[in-house]
Amino acid sequence: MSHHFQLTRRAFLAGAGASLAAAALPVIPGFAFAADAHAKELRIGYQKAASTLVLLKSHGTLEKRLAPLGVAVKWTEFPAGPQLLEGLNVGAIDFGYVGEAPPVFAQAAGANFVYTAYEIPTPHAEGILVHQSSPIKTLADLKGKKIALNKGSDVHWFLVAALQKNGVKFSEIQPVYLPPADARAAFERGAIDAWAIWDPFLEAAKRQSNARLLADADGIVSHHQFFLSARPFAQQNGEVLAIVIDEVGKEGEWVRGHYSEAAAQLAPIQGLDAGVIEAGLRHYAHVYKPVDAKVLAEQQRIADTFSDLHIIPTRIITKEAALPTSV
């Protein structure tokens, strides 16, 4: 093991904090940590529904941590994960948080990113909704039905897996690709039979849109969330990313101990009732860990399935988008 590698690893683990250091996030030579080598700006892509990042932005603690390094933080909002990763692919952002399916689509499109960390499974944070009076009682009943979903998002994988598990091919439904706001409008006017969606939109619709939960992802898919970094940025800004993940971990820990307070802070930002937000927050884990072989294998299963169904245009190897492990 080279002297440079020892310093690199020590620097990352020192910055990553208890939330990730104990799990030994992999680092290799070539991911630079020199104080004079990092970028002067960190551009973060976030979704309004990504509560931990929204709170981190609101609290301003990341800016305070990075100020001594001379690194400014720029936040850019995206409507969903696929659009966020389009931003990463074209170089508009350096770092973001998305569900399990968007990285597969992005890698198939040639995006140059690395998996940086993941949130432990949150299967109750996504579900398939039908109308209260709908004759649809089981997932098998979705055959032939119009189902709204955000194309390329985590519910895309959830819906495919849920149908497969119940003997229905994806080609046997009528997918209607809509972002969350448009899908809710279509659901409320009866233009679709079902809607695959994630929290907090899921919880809001259950309470406000005469919706019935047909099934959540429990027992079907893990529903991981991922922090991703542009590979060129990661290779030169390991110290910066270590601080980001540390602050994200601290924010997640704060949320787990302050659900009501967090919901109250998020309500005016997300435009939803605090009770809805709190219920949604409790469906997420807010616990983040280094990406490991098991998680990458699950991502590979998504990629292989999507390739077989021609949802993505080519076969990919998900571990090629992982931070190379130390030896």
**Do both 199 and 179 map to the same domain?**
yes
User: With contact defined as beta carbons under 8 Å apart, do 248 and 288 qualify?
Assistant: yes
Confidence (pLDDT) at 35: 46
User: With contact defined as beta carbons under 8 Å apart, do 72 and 44 qualify?
Assistant: no
Tell me the per-residue pLDDT of 102-129, one tens digit each, with 9 for 90 and over: 999 999 999 999 999 999 999 999 999 9
**Do both 232 and 178 map to the same domain?**
no
Bigger pLDDT: 199 or 33? 199
Q: What 3-state DSSP class applies to 146?
A: strand
Bigger pLDDT: 149 or 37? 149
Final residue in a domain of this structure, among 156, 187, 216: 216
**Do both 105 and 229 map to the same domain?**
yes
User: With contact defined as beta carbons under 8 Å apart, do 215 and 162 qualify?
Assistant: yes
Final residue in a domain of this structure, among 181, 216, 251: 216
Confidence (pLDDT) at 7: 31
User: With contact defined as beta carbons under 8 Å apart, do 321 and 103 qualify?
Assistant: yes
Q: How confident is the model at residue 81 (pLDDT cuts 50, 70, 90)?
A: confident
What would the two tokens of residue 287 be? 């616990």
**Do both 212 and 310 map to the same domain?**
no
**Do both 50 and 29 map to the same domain?**
yes
What would the two tokens of residue 212 be? 């019935």
Residue 327 lies in a domain: no
Residue 156 lies in a domain: yes
Residue 189 lies in a domain: yes
**pTM of the model as a whole:** 0.85
Distance CA 13, CA 25 (A): 7
User: With contact defined as beta carbons under 8 Å apart, do 203 and 279 qualify?
Assistant: yes
Secondary structure letter of residue 171 according to DSSP: G
**Do both 208 and 243 map to the same domain?**
no
Final residue in a domain of this structure, among 216, 249, 280: 216
**Do both 199 and 286 map to the same domain?**
no
Structural domains of the chain, count: 2
Residue 326 lies in a domain: no
Residue 97 lies in a domain: yes
What would the two tokens of residue 170 be? 């994806």
Q: State phi, psi for 19 to the nearest 5 degrees.
A: -65, -30
Worst-scoring range by mean pLDDT, 46-55, 91-100, 139-148, 218-227?
A: 46-55
Confidence (pLDDT) at 228: 96
Q: How far apart are the first and last CA of the chain?
A: 8
**Do both 164 and 262 map to the same domain?**
no
**Do both 103 and 11 map to the same domain?**
yes
Residue 154 lies in a domain: yes
Confidence (pLDDT) at 37: 66
**Do both 243 and 298 map to the same domain?**
yes
Worst-scoring range by mean pLDDT, 4-13, 76-85, 314-323?
A: 4-13
**Do both 212 and 240 map to the same domain?**
no
Tell me the per-residue pLDDT of 47-58, one tens digit each, with 9 for 90 and over: 888 889 999 999
Instruction: From residue 33, give the alpha-carbon distance in Å to each of 3, 28, 106, 234.
Output: 14, 11, 27, 10
Residue 283 has pLDDT above 50, yes or no: yes
Bigger pLDDT: 7 or 217? 217
CA dihedral 126, 47, 228, 220 (to 10 degrees): 0
User: With contact defined as beta carbons under 8 Å apart, do 198 and 155 qualify?
Assistant: yes
Tell me the per-residue pLDDT of 246-267, one tens digit each, with 9 for 90 and over: 999 999 999 999 999 999 999 9
DSSP notation for 18-67? HHHHTTT----TTS---TTTS-SEEEEEEETT-HHHHHHHHH-HHHHHHG
Confidence (pLDDT) at 325: 54
Residue 268 has pLDDT above 70, yes or no: yes
Q: What is the CATH number of the domain that holds 158?
A: 3.40.190.10
**Do both 64 and 190 map to the same domain?**
no
Q: How confident is the model at residue 39 (pLDDT cuts 50, 70, 90)?
A: confident
Across all residues in the chain, what is the average pLDDT? 88
State which residues form the domain around 187.
123-216
CA dihedral 19, 202, 126, 136 (to 10 degrees): 170
Q: State phi, psi for 283 to the nearest 5 degrees.
A: -85, -15
Residue 275 lies in a domain: yes
Distance CA 327, CA 323 (A): 13
Instruction: From residue 99, give the alpha-carbon distance in Å to each of 109, 197, 225.
Output: 17, 12, 4
Task: Residue 6: count other Cβ atoms within 10 Å of its Cβ.
Answer: 11
Q: How confident is the model at residue 59 (pLDDT cuts 50, 70, 90)?
A: very high
Tell me the per-residue pLDDT of 169-208, one tens digit each, with 9 for 90 and over: 999 999 999 989 999 999 999 999 999 999 999 999 999 9
Residue with tokens 């005016």: 268
Residue 148 lies in a domain: yes
